[in-house]
Amino acid sequence: MNNELKVNLENLTDQEREQLLALMEKANKPVNSKWFVPEEDEKYHFVSNGFFSSSFSNCFDDIDNRIFESRQVFKTEEEAKQDLKRLQAELKYIRFLRENEPSDWSPKFNRIQDNWYLIYDVGTGTIKMNSLRFNWEMPLRFYSDKVTIQKAMNTPEIIEAWKVMMGIEQ
């Protein structure tokens, strides 16, 4: 399907032209975007390398565009701080897995090796272990061996980090 559209603006009144351009701008924004894309000169906050900026103004230069590509852009400082907290929790959880799993272990989806991970049971409000032998749309970094995942379940600070990482707790 071709999404290109050619329009002769000369056939429109000034008001119609403004309406059309506003609609075209809206139509060209990312679909179902979970990240914030500021307007020109609008202030934004971002997370990068373990810190967040207190405020930045969008001027659509190369720096802004590189920041937007990271998808770590937020309208408020509170949102940026919350995402930073989530990223730090994810790093803590993944570091725990890598430091505790056998050195020869890596996720393999070969129908032979079990790949273990944690899940949250919404019905009971509990965290459980589960395993797969095939890839289930979850980043490989969240899988480990059974012993390491069991150890994670028995380590309260790792469970707290996992809950923050998964958005279960703030």
User: pLDDT per residue over 115-167, tens digit each?
Assistant: 899 998 888 989 999 888 776 666 778 889 999 999 999 999 999 999 999 88
Q: How many domains, the chain?
A: 1
> Is position 89 within any domain?
no
Beta strands in the chain, from DSSP E residues, in sequence order: 43-48, 51-52, 56-57, 73-74, 115-121, 126-132
User: pLDDT per residue over 37-70, tens digit each?
Assistant: 788 888 888 877 666 666 678 888 888 888 777 7
> Is position 64 within any domain?
no
φ and ψ at residue 121, rounded to 5 degrees = -85, 105
Q: What is the DSSP string of 116-136?
A: EEEEEETTTTEEEEEEESS--
CB 117 within 8 A of CB 143: yes
> Is position 95 within any domain?
no
| Out of 9-13, 99-103, 116-120, 146-150, least confident range | 9-13
Q: CA-to-CA distance for 94 and 107, rounded, in angstroms?
A: 13
Give the pair of three-digit tokens for residue 32.
Answer: 């179902």
> Is position 120 within any domain?
yes
> Is position 72 within any domain?
no
- Residue (of 166, 143, 146) closest to 154 by Cα position: 146
Give the other-Cβ count within 10 Å of 147's Cβ. Answer: 13
> Is position 149 within any domain?
yes
CB 153 within 8 A of CB 147: no
> Is position 110 within any domain?
yes
126: containing domain: 104-166
The model's pTM is 0.67
> Is position 141 within any domain?
yes
